Structure 1
């Protein structure tokens, strides 16, 4: 798959640069999850060679309530991940920000929680030990995109298409104390977020929907990477966004979207799209 993987990786990167749609690879030939990650690895190598800096990981499809809504031939039943690069991550200093949608194919909005690793977790780290490696958490809004018409694809297609990642907006980081890390999974599981558009409430989501807790999502990724030696394991300094708490809603220029949390000390964000 190595030469084919590089070929497909270039095709996805070119399509993104030119804002062009593509047909799902699974509509053309059999594509396994393993093959899709080979394409993802090739994409990472190309981007690094071109000067982009990998700064973390993005998890997708961690919200079990949404699994039945995605997948054409069969529902998506497991999370996926992709690399995060500095070119698509934006730290925002204010609670109200503007974000351009130029070039974003079929953009949708996802409210998430983002973490930074302060220490490298051991390969066999328990979930409690992993939590103790976290430096901070923050609210994130991810703009996800799809080159596939009408958002119709299989899980392998999503992995190959750069994890469907567009842009990640990260709000004010909150440093995690030793005491807060001890109960972090439970606190996040019991927290909720609301999502509104132009002042009208559209949805509410819960941390428990994200693999029981966003902390569990990181642990899932940590264990999955032990089975994928072609990729580096989690390292100190990485940023990890753990997946949406609500459904991913289509967004368009001229709209203002807002979020608000309950049960966790994170400020919401308001984003006006242009």
Structure 2
């Protein structure tokens, strides 16, 4: 069984490196979420063998808009590596991805360890800073179609991310307006309240869900709380910007 899971992880990793879509898990090989996370861990280990370093985690499918967009109904998580982080205001090369999409998010930077079942208050005390962010998701599956186990195995579609300037950890993020603009025109508008009702709940979920896999959130880790709106497909020539009320902006160009 381990060899079969490893083969799936290697196939997904090849899809990432070659920017070529691969097929979904066959119907007769569908696995549960726990097995999907095992495949995810194998895939991230392949990245680490190439020299990448884990710098945090992302939460996926944290808004009703995202769940409806991809047709699943459960929050997921994936690992972030240093190779995924891109310079704010920089350039994203479209050819490096299969079918990339951008979504506006809030990022947390942790100042202390956070793991297991924690309260909202404990999660808040662990934050060192908050910031506006854009995550680039890029399912490695054909036609951007997948089941819950598919997406979990695929590191929850995580591909790249941009983070803007840091704000104080006690900034009120409960109900902030969030706008994703393409070529300076608003494309998606939402509220941080769409992220599980409050972005802090994503941090609580991250601590709980990652602990199940033996993963601990450490000081300095980045946690992407999840999207407040549906994701927007990217094409060369786009200027992409996310503005989060009271937090600021983050932007990049697509080449």
Q: Shorter chain as normaliser: what TM range?
A: over 0.9
2:92 to 95, 99, 105: 99
Question: Given the superposition, is the C-alpha separation of residues 246 and 120 from structure 1 closer, same or farther in structure 2, using an over 3 Å criterion?
Answer: same
The Cα shift of 1:117 comes to 0.8
Contact 1:59/1:242 (8 A) holds in 2: yes
Partner of 2:61: 61
The Cα shift of 1:195 comes to 1.6
| Matches of 1:78 and 1:28, distance apart in 2 | 22
Question: Given the superposition, is the C-alpha separation of residues 271 and 122 from structure 1 closer, same or farther in structure 2, using an over 3 Å criterion?
Answer: closer
Partner of 1:254: 237
The Cα shift of 1:110 comes to 0.6
Question: Larger C-alpha radius of gyration, 1 or 2?
Answer: 1
1:244 to 224, 227, 238: 227
The Cα shift of 1:91 comes to 4.2
Partner of 1:22: 22
SS of 1:189's partner is coil
Partner of 1:4: 4
2:113 to 120, 142, 148: 120
Partner of 2:155: 162
Q: What do residues 95-115 of structure 1 show as CA deviations (whole Å, max 9, x unaligned)?
A: x43322222111111111111
1:195 to 162, 180, 183: 180
The Cα shift of 1:26 comes to 4.5
Matched, 1:138 2:131: yes
Contact 1:91/1:171 (8 A) holds in 2: no
Contact 1:261/1:267 (8 A) holds in 2: yes
The Cα shift of 1:46 comes to 2.2
Unpaired stretches in structure 2, ≥5 consecutive residues = none
SS of 2:30's partner is coil
| Matches of 2:42 and 2:76, distance apart in 1 | 16
Matched, 1:84 2:80: yes
| Matches of 1:35 and 1:238, distance apart in 2 | 25
Farther off after superposition, 34-43 or 98-107: 98-107
Partner of 1:52: 52
TM-score of the two chains, using structure 1 as the length reference: 0.87
Partner of 1:268: 249
Partner of 2:215: 232
Partner of 1:175: 168
| Matches of 1:20 and 1:211, distance apart in 2 | 32
Question: When the two structures are aligned, how many residues end up with a matched partner?
Answer: 255
The Cα shift of 1:44 comes to 2.2
Unpaired stretches in structure 1, ≥5 consecutive residues = none
The Cα shift of 1:232 comes to 1.5
